[in-house]
Structures are given as structure tokens and as C-alpha cells.
Structure 1
Amino acid sequence: MSTGLHIHFADQLRGIDDRMRAGFEFWPWGHRDRMRVLVERQLARKGKRLRSLFALLCGELLGGTPEKAQPLAAAVELYHAASLVLDDVQDNAVFRDRDQAVHVSENVSNAINLACIVRSFSHYPLHGSDLTLAEKDGVRRRLDTMATLVPLGQSMDIGWHQGWYDFRSVPYEELIRLKTGAPFACVAAGAAVTSGKDSGTHAGMERLGYRVGMLYQLVDDYNDMFLHDQAAVPSDLQEGKFTRPVAILIGLLCADGREGVAERVASRLRKPDGDGPQWILDLMTACSVAALLEEEIQDSAADIERDVAALSSGGLDATGRMTEFVRSLAAMMAERPQPVPAESLSYRRRST
């Protein structure tokens, strides 16, 4: 992500971090020392802060003040931080950003409890804000909507692993729209509320947020599949995830009348042992999936830039910074490394 944008909003991002601690500072922890440490550790995880930065940019794009975007940004970041803990439990993930996942370093019960506490804090930035009652109500409605849509999207992800869908019916686009796009849509529509815009602008900003979130997920899917350590299986394949590269591959195979091969891709993805991951990667190479996804990402970014220009009422500088954000998201798709011979690869087996 653009260093210039982080520098421009440095004070505002620090303000968001301070607001994220409002719930933590409110409660006396007493004898709950271990949970206090876990909560503090989770709050200290900075991550990319993409949702915070996007919230500030949305407020600026609409001619509002960045301060009014802070409470909503802090609320969404807290909700996201809690969701990551639960996602790791549901995915049986061992690591989160090179550290052990909480349910691994502690236990499942503590991880779920930690997520519940951090998620409860998402209301505190609004309680202590200077937003009007009408603005708080409007923002809460969007937070409540997000709080339902994200787990609905996660249920589709879980449903894929549980065999709810065959290879032709996985609702990938709706899955990422809800699971990844909803938090971005929440901050975008919330910025329209706190900027005093009409319902038409609310809807337009919400659509923008969904598209930005989905763009981010496409880039993330691309990076995991094609920028992985060449001596290891991509983590999305290792975990059997149905991602955009897989969706493109299956679509191409079906269009070519090779539904049997597409079905085998889905089957091997659900049980990614043996040579299954390498076989899927070889098919992707043969079908130029990486190049097709690169084109899709660039086209999506260009479409979003047009939406930004149409929605802007904050002046050229604000429009330019939001455009820079969108381009930076697309640029996170870095150059692919050259493939190495298959016989030199040492693939990890999926943990059970």
C-alpha cells in the first residue's frame, strides 16, 4: 500500500488506534490477567489497516472531515480483528502472519472468548464519539448489517469444505462480496452518513466499498496462488480453499467440454494430498489462469476509478488520493517468480 497515503493520514490513523482501545480502557481487568494479555496483543496487531485508510479516504472523497470517519473505522477494525481469530479456528489454521494462531498457542475456548471480547469493543468507539445521535444510528445500522453479512459469507466458505456445493455451483463471487467486501462497504456507506449525504450517495458509496473489498480479495487470491514460495504448496491449495484462480480454471475447463477434469479439480482441492496441488498448478499454467486474473484485476481497478470520479465531491486532491489507493491495491499483485522444475518441489501435506 502507498507509503504516501499512510504519511498523509498518519495522525488520523493514530487516532483510530487510540479509539480501538476505548473498550479495553473502560473495563477493570483485575484477576483476568491472561485474557488481558491476549486482548492487548490482539489490539496491538496493526495489519495493513486498509479498512481504516479506506474510511478516511471515503470521508475525504465526500468532502467530510477525517475525524468523523475515525469512530467507524475503529469499529470495523475491531470487528475484523475478532473475525480473524474465529476464521483461524474455523479453518484450523496453524499460523496468522507467521505467529501461531490463538487457538494453537492457547486453546479453542480462549480463542473464541477473545474474539467475543474484541468484537464487543467495536461499539465503544461510537459511544465515545462526537457524532450526532442520527449519525450514530446510521452508522450502527451499517455495522449491524456487516455483522450479519460477514458470517453469511463465511458460511459459504465453510459450506464448500462441507460439500454443500459441487464444482459448478460454488457461489464464489457472493462469498467474497459478503465476507471481504462487506467491511469495506460498511465504512464507505458510513462515511456517506457522517458526511451528511443523501440516500443515493449512500448506495453509491456502498457499491464502491463492495467493489474495493472484492478487488482486494482477488489480489490476495492471486498472490497466494502465484507468488508463493516455490518450494512449498500455496496455502490456499494446502487448505483446500475455493479461490478465484480455481473458479477461473473450472470455468475454462467446463467451457472446453472438460467437465470431468473440472470435477477432478474440485475433488483434489477438497483433499489436497499427493500430487494434487501440483497437478492443479500445472493445469492453471496450461490455461494461462494467472494472466487472465491479472487482466481481471486491472479491469476491476479501472472500473472502480471511474466510480470514484463519479462519486467525488471533495475536490481533485481527494479524488487523486482515492485513485492512488485503488491503484496501490492492484499493485499489490507483484511480479510472478519464474516456475521451477516440478521434481525440485517439496510440497507440504495439509495438516489435519
Structure 2
Amino acid sequence: MSTTESAPGTRSATEVLGHAKSIVDPALRTVLGGLPEPMRHIGGYHLGWWDEHGRDTGGSGGKTLCPALVLLAAEAVGGRAGRAVPGAVAVELVHNFSLLHDDVMDGDVTRRHRATAWSLFGAGPAILAGNSLLALAFDALTEGGAGATAVRTLHTAVQDLMDGQHADLEFERRADVTLPECVRMAERKTAALLGCACALGALAGGAGPEQVLLLRRFGERLGLAFQLVDDLLGIWGTESVTGKPAFSDLRNHKKSLPVVAALTSGTPAGRELARLYLREDPLEGDDLARAAELIAAAGGRGWTQARADALLEQAWRDLTSAGVVPRATAELGALARLVTRRDH
């Protein structure tokens, strides 16, 4: 990814995320406090604020990437971050709605180094809590004074996300998933929400249509790169770092991007992977390690990282074309580099 000289006072990616959390977390706690007690309890547990008994853990949830993008996009077009807080809260609620449901659908029992909400409270209550967060997202956005364009932007992103998740589930039952199909699924499931985050921030900052479009496209490319790296971590990530079991995506026979790139490679390793991966029996023990080896040997791991790197370059071109504030450009670039070089 290209670099430019940092503007005075430019913060590191870690500082940007920490600042976003310090602004968004109190607002998030306030809006969550308006939920009925069972939904508030499960939502707060999922966000890491308290344990299953409601005792404060001092936790602070996930990385707050989406809210940070909203706030930075507002600043990038010359607006104030404070005007974008409702949008930041809304995208964080949507993101966590999707995670609550995703854990149920995938059967994952750990997230962020602790038990998933559904594994403690049951699948039904976790789904209902996710629904509550989704409804609350739109309430937070409209109560914050967002206009119809912002609401439509969030609505479209949610529909794209659910379409992508549906495709992800469907792929588990299919043996003929193509790489373009898999890329489109990732664009809908992940890229759409990061693009929405940047667009909401730009709208809150008073950007014109061209700037909104370019910042949305920056976020979409960054979101697809994020999913590519997430898929790599779903296979080769370390449980002590990611908070999820090793080979978690392979256990679920997920047609993630590295897997599909390998299965469609036309290589001997890809054909052996197909015989192993596409059978109905669950993958366990040595089969999991062998599947990971075959994905790498068939080029799936290398293709995925190379594609993430290429997307980062494209995202950078979109960002610099938007003519945004130099400091915000540097900080958005730092976040983008962190996304594609993270280990969790």
C-alpha cells in the first residue's frame, strides 16, 4: 500500500480504535440500556461488558473497526466526529447482531476468548437478542437526526449482509461453488457493512455525492480485504490469539475464499482436497491439518493474501481520489493496513 507523509498529530491505528471506543462505548451502553432486561443482559454479555450473571468484567467488546471508520470518514470530509456518533453506534449494533446470529448458525462455542451467547443462554434467546440489536440500530440512527439517505444506506447494507450470510450457508451444502460466487458472497456479507460505515460518516460530515461514493468504495474494498484475512485466520489463526478454535472454518466445511480458491485451482492438491473436504463425514484430528496443508499447496493461502494486498492498493486509490483531509487520509490508511496485517 502506498504511503503519504503523515499530517501533524496523526494517530496510530491503535490510537484511532481506542479513541473511537472511548466515544462510542458510552453511547452504546446508553442505547442498550433501553432494551428489555433479557435482551439487554444477553447483548451486554456478547459485547463483553459483563459475565453471564451480569457481573461487570471490565471488558470492552471487539475492535470497534466499523465505528472508527464512521468517525474518521466524517472528519475526512471536514465534519466533526461527534455528528457521526449515531451512525457509529448503528453500525456497531448491526455488526454485533450479525455476530450473534453467525455464532448460532455456525455452531461456534467461543468468541473473543469466551463462551458464545447462544452456548450459554440458548439459540433462541441469542437470536432474539440479535434481532433487538438490529432494531435498536435503526432507532439509534434516526434518534440521532440522520436523514432518509442515511437510513436507506444502512437498510441496504443489512439486506446485503443477510444475502451474503444466506449464500455462505448455502455454500456448505454445495460442491460446485465457484470463486466469483464466493467473492460476491464476501462482498455482501462483510464489504457492504464497512462501505456503509464510511458512507454514513461521510454523510454525517456533510460530504457531496462524489465523496460519499469514493469513501463507500474505500470501505467496501477494505471490507473485502478484511474478510479475506478473516478467512485466513479461520484456518491458520491461533486459538490463543483469535479466541476461536483452530481450524474452526474447516470443521464447519465452510466454503471460505482460501478453500474455494484451492478447490477450483485444478491442481493435484486441489483435487485431493475435494476428496477430503466434500465428503459428508465431519473433519476431525489429522484430517483438519491435512486439509489446511492442501489448501496452501493448491495456492489458496497465497491467492487470498495477494488479493487482500491488491484490494488495499485499490482502496488507497479511492481514498486519495476523494480529496479528504490529510490527517484523516493517513489515519484511514493506517486502519486499512492494520486490517490486512492483523493476527486476530
Compute the TM-score of the two structures, normalised by the length of structure 2: 0.82
Residue of structure 2 equivalent to 1:25: 33
CA distance in 2 between counterparts of 1:10 and 1:262 reads: 41
C-alpha root-mean-square deviation of aligned residues, in Å? 2.8
Cα–Cα, structure 1 residues 248 and 9, in superposed 2: closer, same or farther, change >3 Å? closer
1:172 is displaced (CA, Å) by 0.9
CA distance in 2 between counterparts of 1:108 and 1:212 reads: 31
Residue of structure 2 equivalent to 1:162: 173
Cα–Cα, structure 1 residues 68 and 9, in superposed 2: closer, same or farther, change >3 Å? farther
Cα–Cα, structure 1 residues 261 and 42, in superposed 2: closer, same or farther, change >3 Å? closer
CA distance in 2 between counterparts of 1:10 and 1:258 reads: 43
Residue of structure 1 equivalent to 2:121: 106
Q: 1:237 aligns with which of 250, 255, 279?
A: 250
Residue of structure 1 equivalent to 2:100: 85
2:20/2:64 contact within 8 Å kept: no
Worse-superposed segment, 43-52 or 148-157: 43-52
2:250/2:288 contact within 8 Å kept: yes
1:233 is displaced (CA, Å) by 4.8
| Structure 1: runs of 5 or more not aligned | 335-352
Query: Secondary structure at the residue paired with 1:46?
Result: coil
1:20/1:121 contact within 8 Å kept: no
Q: Does 1:62 align with 2:73?
A: no
1:80 is displaced (CA, Å) by 1.2
Q: Does 1:264 align with 2:275?
A: yes
Cα–Cα, structure 1 residues 169 and 219, in superposed 2: closer, same or farther, change >3 Å? closer
Residue of structure 1 equivalent to 2:206: 196
CA distance in 1 between counterparts of 2:270 and 2:302 reads: 22
Residue of structure 1 equivalent to 2:238: 228
Compute the TM-score of the two structures, normalised by the length of structure 1: 0.81
Residue of structure 1 equivalent to 2:140: 125
Query: Secondary structure at the residue paired with 2:253?
Result: coil
1:212 is displaced (CA, Å) by 0.8
1:241/1:269 contact within 8 Å kept: no
1:26 is displaced (CA, Å) by 3.6
CA distance in 2 between counterparts of 1:46 and 1:219 reads: 20
1:307 is displaced (CA, Å) by 1.7
Q: 1:52 aligns with which of 67, 80, 89?
A: 67
Query: Secondary structure at the residue paired with 2:238?
Result: coil
CA distance in 1 between counterparts of 2:105 and 2:273 reads: 26
CA distance in 2 between counterparts of 1:57 and 1:6 reads: 13
Cα–Cα, structure 1 residues 106 and 13, in superposed 2: closer, same or farther, change >3 Å? closer
Amino acid in the other structure paired with 1:190: L
1:150 is displaced (CA, Å) by 0.8
Query: Secondary structure at the residue paired with 1:64?
Result: coil
Query: Secondary structure at the residue paired with 1:171?
Result: helix
Query: Secondary structure at the residue paired with 2:170?
Result: helix
Q: 2:23 aligns with which of 15, 35, 41?
A: 15
CA distance in 1 between counterparts of 2:264 and 2:172 reads: 19
Q: Does 1:140 align with 2:151?
A: yes
Residue of structure 2 equivalent to 1:246: 259
CA distance in 1 between counterparts of 2:255 and 2:213 reads: 29
Residue of structure 2 equivalent to 1:300: 311
CA distance in 2 between counterparts of 1:233 and 1:81 reads: 22
Residue of structure 1 equivalent to 2:55: none
CA distance in 2 between counterparts of 1:228 and 1:174 reads: 27
| Structure 2: runs of 5 or more not aligned | 1-9, 50-59
Q: Percent identity?
A: 22
CA distance in 2 between counterparts of 1:270 and 1:305 reads: 43
Residue of structure 1 equivalent to 2:290: 279
Cα–Cα, structure 1 residues 92 and 11, in superposed 2: closer, same or farther, change >3 Å? closer
CA distance in 2 between counterparts of 1:296 and 1:309 reads: 20
1:216/1:330 contact within 8 Å kept: yes
1:161/1:270 contact within 8 Å kept: no
Q: How many residues align?
A: 320
Larger Rg: 1
Residue of structure 1 equivalent to 2:224: 214
1:300 is displaced (CA, Å) by 2.2
C-alpha distance after superposition, 1:213-265 (max 9, x if no partner): 111111111223233369x751111121111211221232x2x4887546425
1:280 is displaced (CA, Å) by 2.1
C-alpha distance after superposition, 1:290-327 (max 9, x if no partner): 3343333222222222221111321x222111111111
Residue of structure 1 equivalent to 2:54: none
Q: Does 1:321 align with 2:336?
A: no
Residue of structure 2 equivalent to 1:181: 191
Query: Secondary structure at the residue paired with 1:21?
Result: helix
Amino acid in the other structure paired with 2:229: V
1:153/1:176 contact within 8 Å kept: yes
Cα–Cα, structure 1 residues 127 and 199, in superposed 2: closer, same or farther, change >3 Å? closer
Amino acid in the other structure paired with 1:243: S
2:70/2:199 contact within 8 Å kept: no
Cα–Cα, structure 1 residues 267 and 308, in superposed 2: closer, same or farther, change >3 Å? same
CA distance in 2 between counterparts of 1:170 and 1:273 reads: 29
Residue of structure 2 equivalent to 1:338: none
Residue of structure 2 equivalent to 1:71: 86
CA distance in 1 between counterparts of 2:179 and 2:342 reads: 29
